Amino acid sequence: MKRVTRDIDPESAHDLLERVPRACIAFAREEGPIAQPVALIWRDGRYQVGVPSAAARRPDAGDEVVLLVDEGRYFFDLRAIYIRGLAEPVDAPEAAPEGHTWYEITPTRTVAWDYGSLREVDDDR
């Protein structure tokens, strides 16, 4: 049996981590989920995100967050990489843009998708 998947190897989406067309994190607060645009520096395999210092809410140390880096407007251009992990405050990375509070995300789960790369795979689920 075959099925069609949009899933891709996250390594195929590393260009998104380098170019960062759109990046945001989600984290939980008392009032509900918070979607927050972030700066992203992906270097030596490390995910460092900068939340604007003016942001009213930021993750606490050890919070679970999800980082979404995506691009595209029309169907076959939609691509994304999704990294779930734990955020810890860190010093600003070298050459980081000013005006941000920085966190490093230690991934617990990473997935990526690309609607322009739909293909058939064995359905072994």
Partner 1 sequence: MTVDDPAVREMIRRAMVARIATLSGGGRPSITSLYFIPMNGHVWLGTADWTLAAREARADPRVSVLFQLEHNSGDRRILRISGQATVTTDEEIQKAYRWRVALKYILNPGGIANYATHWRQYRLMDQYHAQSAEKGKGCVIDVTPELAEYI
With CB under 8 A as the contact rule, the residue among 20, 68, 86, 92 that binds partner 1 is 68
Paired sense of beta strands 100-114 and 32-37, if any: unpaired
d(CA 75, CA 77): 5
Residue range at the interface with partner 1 (CB under 8 A); choices 12-20, 32-40, 41-49, 95-103: 32-40
| 66 interacts with partner 1 by CB under 8 A | yes
| 4 interacts with partner 1 by CB under 8 A | yes
Residue count at the site for partner 1 (CB under 8 A)? 38
d(CA 86, CA 60): 10
Region at 11 (left for phi over 0; alpha for psi -120 to 50; beta for the rest)? alpha
| 39 interacts with partner 1 by CB under 8 A | no
Residues in 83-102 that interact with partner 1 by CB under 8 A: 84
d(CA 87, CA 71): 23
Note whether 115 and 75 are within 8 A (CB).
yes
Residues that bind partner 1 (CB under 8 A): 3-6, 22, 24-28, 31-37, 52, 55, 64-66, 68, 70, 72-78, 80, 82, 84, 116, 118-120
